[in-house]
Amino acid sequence: MVWEPITFSMRESGRKQLKAGKQLPFEYRGPLYRRAKGFSLQTGRMVEGAEAFKGQSMLLANCQVGLHGRYSKIVEAGATYRYEVSLKGQGTFHFRAWVGANDPTTGEFRWLGFPDLVKIQATDSWQTHKGEFQLPEFDTTTFKLPAKTSAAIVVREGDEIVVDDFTVWLLEKE
C-alpha cells in the first residue's frame, strides 16, 4: 500500500459522495489516499491483522478497480486464462471484461458488451476460489476486436467484499 495525493477528480466526486451521505470508497488522511500498489483507480480500504486473509487485504465496496491499471488490455479472444482469488464479505465479486471494437472502414467505436469472466458470491468466511475463463465470442463481422481487451473488478452498490491474492494468468497455448 502506498499513500498518494488525492487527485482533482477524486476531490470533486468525493465531495458529491460525502454530500449525499455516502462513505468514500478509499481510505484518506488529509490530502492523501491509500491505494494498493499496481492499481491505478483510487478505491479500496486496507484490512489488516486477523480480519485479513494474509496480513493485508482490500475491502472493496461500491466500486470498480483496475480498469486502467493492472487489468488493462490483458484478455485475448480465444485464449484461456486461469484465476485464483481469496474472498469474504457480502455480495458478488465480478471480474468483468470491457469489450469495445472498431469498424475498420469508418473508425467508429462501439461497446459490444461487458461480460463477467469471473462471478463469485462471497461468504462470511475466507474462501479461495480457482477456475478458468475465456472471453465469450462476439459478432465481429462489422466491428473488429482489438488484440487484447481490458477488464475490471466490479463490486456493486451495497456489496462489501474483502479481496486478497487475486491472480490471473494465461494458460499455455497447445
Q: For the chain, list the domains and their CATH numbers.
A: 2-170 (2.60.120)
Of 33-47, 118-132, 157-171, the least confident: 33-47
Q: Return the closest-CA partner of residue 122 out of 162, 157, 152, 82.
A: 162
Note the pLDDT tens digit of each residue in 83-142.
Answer: 999 999 999 999 999 999 999 999 999 999 999 999 999 999 999 999 999 999 999 899
Q: Rounded to the nearest 10 degrees, how much is the dihedral formed by the CA atoms of 7, 12, 16, 17?
A: -10
- Residue 25 has a pLDDT of 62
- Residue 60 has a pLDDT of 83
3-state secondary structure of 107: coil
Position 10 confidence tier, pLDDT thresholds 50, 70, 90: confident
Position 40 confidence tier, pLDDT thresholds 50, 70, 90: very low
Residue 29 predicted with pLDDT over 80: no
Which one has a higher pLDDT value, 73 or 130? 130
Residue 13 predicted with pLDDT over 90: no
State the DSSP H helix or E strand holding residue 10, giving kind and residue range, or none if neither. Answer: helix 8-19
Residue 155 predicted with pLDDT over 50: yes
Which residues, including other chains, have CB under 8 Å from residue 119's CB and lie 6 or more apart?
Answer: 92, 93, 94, 95
- Residue 147 has a pLDDT of 93
Rounded distance between C-alpha atoms, residue 71 and residue 152, angstroms: 6
Residue 151 predicted with pLDDT over 80: yes
- Mean pLDDT of the residues in the chain: 83
